Structure 1
């Protein structure tokens, strides 16, 4: 397996998982599985986790990374937004999460320094993330498509010509994590 120094973590948004409350038990399960996978990567040399500032998987991953920093001092997180004013239209509760990305990230930027204009900005963002990481970890299951399906498709095409690792956390993985505890 190729060494992964820079890993993009993404996946379902909170609403795609029917998670609407901060105390939903599903969040603890998702964070536990994310933490286990990230620790495996850290033990093999992971240095940077990249997220795009999306709510759901990316937010929970950012929380996990910030928890892991106490044990892995070289670990850093970058938030790379697809365009400059990403998330400005979110409600008050989600603005707190948007601020978390900015405050807790070691590096913050956008791939486009303009407000959203067209889908080309999102395609450029995806290409940037793929070309600046060694692999991706996706909370995604092809049987339950969502917004992350676009990234998954692009990452598969990208990996056909490059040494790029694509790892999935599926609904079954989450269920198995729960079953293992019982």
Structure 2
């Protein structure tokens, strides 16, 4: 696999409301745990929609992996429309722009401001077309959320075209947190 789409929940869908939440550390570890073996096997590009949540934590993870072990790994952020961060609070804008500085590619499917759901659909179609597989953080037991539709599309592509589907669930992230908590008692 050369190109991988990484996405999942938006921050608010996980009831995470600031960047200091400890759960983010475990989500990033789970992402790194899946990306590292793929990078060892020749993964070249990680593409993400760049939305606030799993997408941007994946970006941070890729940037860290590039610096630490996989300098050949490239990060691409493909948004649905121009300047999605414009209406965010200043601290979120700064966080986003710092990530963009380290991205190897940044582009918007539509160079216009937000106009409608068609922009998200066009972005998703492009991301699926340009990638060989997906790493998706989604857990149906947590209730329906935005990644549900991405999962459905990915599974359809997996059946029809051999698109690779790699999942991260809430149980995996929780077990990482539990292991760390238990090891702190030793």
- What range is the shorter-chain TM-score in? over 0.9
CA contact (8 A) 1:138 1:169 kept: yes
Q: Pick from 21, 25, 29: which aligns with 1:24?
A: 21
User: Aligned residue for 2:102?
Assistant: 104
User: Aligned residue for 1:39?
Assistant: 36
In structure 2, list runs of 5 or more residues that go unmatched: none
In 2, distance between residues paired with 1:175 and 1:151?
23
1:145-175 deviations in whole A, cap 9, x for unaligned?
2111121122222222212011110011112
Answering whether residue 147 of structure 2 is matched by residue 158 of structure 1, we say no
Deviation, structure 1 residue 82:
0.8
Answering whether residue 6 of structure 2 is matched by residue 9 of structure 1, we say yes
User: Aligned residue for 1:139?
Assistant: 137
Deviation, structure 1 residue 91:
1.3
Deviation, structure 1 residue 10:
0.5
Deviation, structure 1 residue 5:
0.9
User: Aligned residue for 2:56?
Assistant: 59
In 1, distance between residues paired with 2:159 and 2:15?
33
Which contiguous aligned blocks of 4+ residues in structure 1 show a shift greater than 3 angstroms? none
In 2, distance between residues paired with 1:21 and 1:113?
29
The number of residue pairs the alignment matches comes to 179
TM-score (norm 1): 0.92
Deviation, structure 1 residue 132:
0.2
TM-score (norm 2): 0.90
Give the CA RMSD over aligned residues.
1.4
In structure 1, list runs of 5 or more residues that go unmatched: none
Q: Pick from 75, 84, 87: which aligns with 1:86?
A: 84
CA contact (8 A) 1:6 1:46 kept: yes
User: Aligned residue for 1:95?
Assistant: 93
In 2, distance between residues paired with 1:5 and 1:180?
32
User: Aligned residue for 1:113?
Assistant: 111
Deviation, structure 1 residue 49:
0.6
